Amino acid sequence: VLPRQTCGLFTHTIYYQDYPGGPKALDNSIMGGELFLTVLLNPISVFMTHLSNYGNDRLGLYTFLHLADFISTWTHLQLDTLPPLQLAQRYFTLFPQQRQPLWQNPCDDKRHRDIWSKEKTCDRLPKFLVIGPQKTGSTALSLFLLMHPSISSSFLGPRTYGEVQFFNTNNYHQGIDWYMELFPLPSNVTSDFLFEKSSAYFPSEDAPRRAAALLPKAKILTMLINPSDRAYNWYQHQKAHEDSTASRFSFYDVISAQHGAPADIRSLQNRCLTPGLYHTHLERWLTHYPVNQLMVLDGQQLRRDPAAVMDEVQKFLGVTPHYNYSQTLTFDQQKGFWCQLSEEGKTKCLWSEGQKYPPMEPEARSYLSRYYREPNIDLSKLLHRLGQPLPSWLREELQKIS
Ligand code: A3P
């Protein structure tokens, strides 16, 4: 399926007399108006329709005969056509970036809204995304967000660890109907906030462009901890989930593997270290979203003082009513984490028992401090430019340098 131009011909119009705005509007469109300009300004014009609309009636014939006639009378354009496959090849040679679909919100354009089925809505789309990266506390952030009476999330996808992972994986090719089905219908479109958390969005090459095309107004929440700790937590997570490479090789072996190392270690190393190049990934998000839609949270602060962080998040999102987290979060000494306090006075924590693994070896820590030195400097410059405060872990890492 090729992308097509919106030509102003409504696919549900069957009869000439029924053309929206009257037949005169159609004639104007053909004779110098939108339809003519579509052909004039696009090297390839692709018109798609249902046979029942254009095929069985004379409206399509009338339109395209008159259009061809008008173009050959008034321009030097040579009209040409090719069989579908060759046309597709020609098209994608001219527009290679369009090989991949890019879904936009059908409700943003009135013409699309008019042909969008009455049963469909565009309200089942998130107002904000929690983009990760993994192992920074994004699950805890989601749990806290869901405590807010006006915030709901997507239903959980069992295949991708409770995450939707739409913008970064082949799920994207399932289309926006598939995506919207994963969200509840908001009871109040203006005050309800839908969101989804997919922590692999953060380092994804595709996610920012795709997310911005569909959700240009969405707010983006990201949470950062020291990238060295993130890499270590991630490695331990892989090991706990019986990743065979992580089980065979020590953390230091993985992070310090050189070019000639076996492919499985290099691949694990890449997945372990690349998300921590925070500056590179943030810059990518910022080429697609304006600064004021992006909030960078300090994961260490969320762990220490979640109520304060959640206050800032509520302000940033503009969500009402203000929810007082200091009354509904409690610190569980045994688990070492802040947990949700239920009305019956019970605590609901994320993990049944604290995640236990030995602290990172000093050798690995100093290796990673060196590895992330330049990226951390770049991150501090970026946060400075954004007017966002430097998290304490970043200040500590920068001090190590000076
Ligand atoms: P560990 O599993 O290494 O302890 P994410 O959900 O982004 O993958 O992050 C998981 C990490 O969130 C955990 O890392 C844990 O340290 C951190 N975290 C922060 N606040 C937490 C909380 N209140 N409850 C549980 N984990 C929390």
Q: List, for the chain, all residue ranges whose pLDDT scores fall below the cut of 70.
A: 1-14, 48-58, 157-161, 352-355, 402
pLDDT at 46: 76
Ligand 1 centroid distance, CA of 354 (Å): 9
244: enclosing H helix or E strand: helix 244-248
Rounded Cα gap, residues 254 and 23, in angstroms: 70
Quick check: is 135 catalytic? yes
Residue with tokens 């839908």: 194
Q: What is the pTM of this model?
A: 0.87
Rounded Cα gap, residues 68 and 73, in angstroms: 8
Rounded Cα gap, residues 373 and 331, in angstroms: 34
pLDDT at 352: 55
Ligand 1 centroid distance, CA of 127 (Å): 24
Rounded Cα gap, residues 103 and 100, in angstroms: 10
Spell out the long-range contacts of 337-343 with Cβ–Cβ below 8 A and sequence spacing 24 or more.
337/140, 337/303, 338/140, 338/303, 338/306, 340/143, 340/144, 340/147
* Closest ligand 1 atom to Cα of 139: 6
Q: Which of 328, 350, 357, 393 to mutate to test the pocket of ligand 1 (most atoms within 8 A of CB)?
A: 350
Rounded Cα gap, residues 188 and 193, in angstroms: 9
Query: From edge to edge, which strands make up the β-sheet containing 128-130?
Result: 151-153, 193-197, 128-130, 219-224, 294-298
Ligand 1 close to Cβ of residue 199 (< 6 A): yes
- Which residue's CA is the nearest one to ligand 1's atom 3? 233
- Which residue's CA is the nearest one to ligand 1's atom 4? 355
Q: Which of 337, 348, 349, 357 to mutate to test the pocket of ligand 1 (most atoms within 8 A of CB)?
A: 337
Catalytic residue among 127, 135, 197, 219: 135
pLDDT at 1: 46
220 within 8 A of 128, measured Cβ to Cβ: yes
Rounded Cα gap, residues 369 and 397, in angstroms: 7
pLDDT at 48: 66
* Closest ligand 1 atom to Cα of 233: 3
318 within 8 A of 306, measured Cβ to Cβ: no
pLDDT at 117: 81
pLDDT at 3: 53
